[in-house]
Structure 1
């Protein structure tokens, strides 16, 4: 896409986009600096601020991963990826998805059981790099530093496995939680993005753990009001 980005700004933009598609969350300033060879996170911040001024991204204050691709940017990216054998990009953007919003989840029942669905939202598919299956209202601030805040709507694709580093929706006994996934030799760790919370460790073969899906996007809690 053409936003008159400098080569360095394009590198930063591509890195942010790839991280969101791969893990469901943007990189930190320190991660951008490390991957692109900047001397400090401040240099990454300067490029992010320039991208925000040019309208390529949106910065959310107070979190280390508060970087978002704007909806029109996502639409342009989706259109750019559509080849001649697919529907015209204008039709892709216009074809709204109807996604169920999952509220409180009762113990032992499927997350998409009818009694868990509060309502349906019509949203543009251009908001997400891949098609989600449902929206989950985030409760609590354990993922604050990933830019995922209390009341946000997490777009989730159903999955029973995940890659290390992906943000997932997991069931732990009677609770459903959003955390970053990490598989180790000792089992599975569910990592918060807030130092006030502790990691959750799952022993191999635990019957209290089930993966419900992986995050593929986020809608700020005020966007659909």
Structure 2
């Protein structure tokens, strides 16, 4: 992106709030959360600013979902390049990431038989450095814009904080869900009302956190 549009102070504040939420939790905030954070009287005020940011090409709005806010990859890349301009040249080199498809039961997620191919991607697209890309299966995270066929950028991790989007192994399946730890155990929460939460405990057989979502690439063009 050559010329970034001029933003008002409030628009810049909202853009940074959205970016920070995605970096820290893997998902954008709701309109209500933006309103509460910035002291707006209603979510409608947040919506008006988001619409303005969308018109200026700073983000995309996905209709019908409470967290339907997506930062455009070229915008995010430009923002991160501006933040990283003083870093040594090697830090700006492309990352080569393995793309993981279907994962066999009991096998390590990065086992060679799971890797479909590798892609060179720009590091500035992601909140934190990912270790691999995972092809998303199904629509359980639809309401935050993670769709079937998308490529989720994942940083390997064994634990997570509440609210983060995680890649978790549950029995024979690897799933993408929002993490929530409470007194009754761990809930893996979908972002689609057609799906049910998954309840596990720290010691559940076959349960493990595999990684944290740090970015998303729309799957089309990577098939």
State how far apart, in whole Å, the 2-side matches of 1:111 and 1:134 are: 10
Q: Which residue of 1 aligns with 2:145?
A: 147
State how far apart, in whole Å, the 2-side matches of 1:208 and 1:130 are: 27
Q: Which of 172, 175, 178 is matched with 2:176 structurally?
A: 178
Q: Which residue of 2 aligns with 1:87?
A: 88
Contact 1:16 1:27 in 2 (8 A): yes
Q: Which residue of 1 aligns with 2:18?
A: 16
Q: Which residue of 1 aligns with 2:66?
A: 64
Secondary structure in 1 matching 2:133 = strand
State how far apart, in whole Å, the 2-side matches of 1:130 and 1:156 are: 9
Superposition map of 1:95-110 within 5 A? 95-110=93-108
Q: Which residue of 2 aligns with 1:76?
A: 78
Q: Which residue of 2 aligns with 1:138?
A: 136
Q: Which residue of 1 aligns with 2:109?
A: 111
State how far apart, in whole Å, the 2-side matches of 1:172 and 1:161 are: 14
Q: Which residue of 1 aligns with 2:34?
A: 32
Contact 1:100 1:118 in 2 (8 A): yes
Gapped regions of structure 1 (runs ≥ 5): none
Q: Which of 178, 193, 196 is matched with 1:195 structurally?
A: 193
Q: Which residue of 2 aligns with 1:120?
A: 118
| Segment drifting more, 59-68 vs 96-105 | 59-68
Secondary structure in 2 matching 1:182 = strand
RMSD: 1.8
**Number of aligned positions between the proteins:** 221
Secondary structure in 1 matching 2:137 = coil
TM-score w.r.t. structure 1 length?
Answer: 0.92
State how far apart, in whole Å, the 1-side matches of 2:120 and 2:14 are: 31
Gapped regions of structure 2 (runs ≥ 5): none
TM-score w.r.t. structure 2 length?
Answer: 0.93
Change (3 A) 1:145 1:31: same
Q: Deviations over 1:70-104 (max 9, x none)?
A: 222222222232263x225xx755x2211111111
State how far apart, in whole Å, the 2-side matches of 1:100 and 1:2 are: 32
Change (3 A) 1:223 1:31: farther
> Is 1:51 paired with 2:48?
no
Secondary structure in 2 matching 1:38 = coil
| Segment drifting more, 202-211 vs 157-166 | 202-211
> Which contiguous aligned blocks of 4+ residues in structure 1 show a shift greater than 3 angstroms?
none
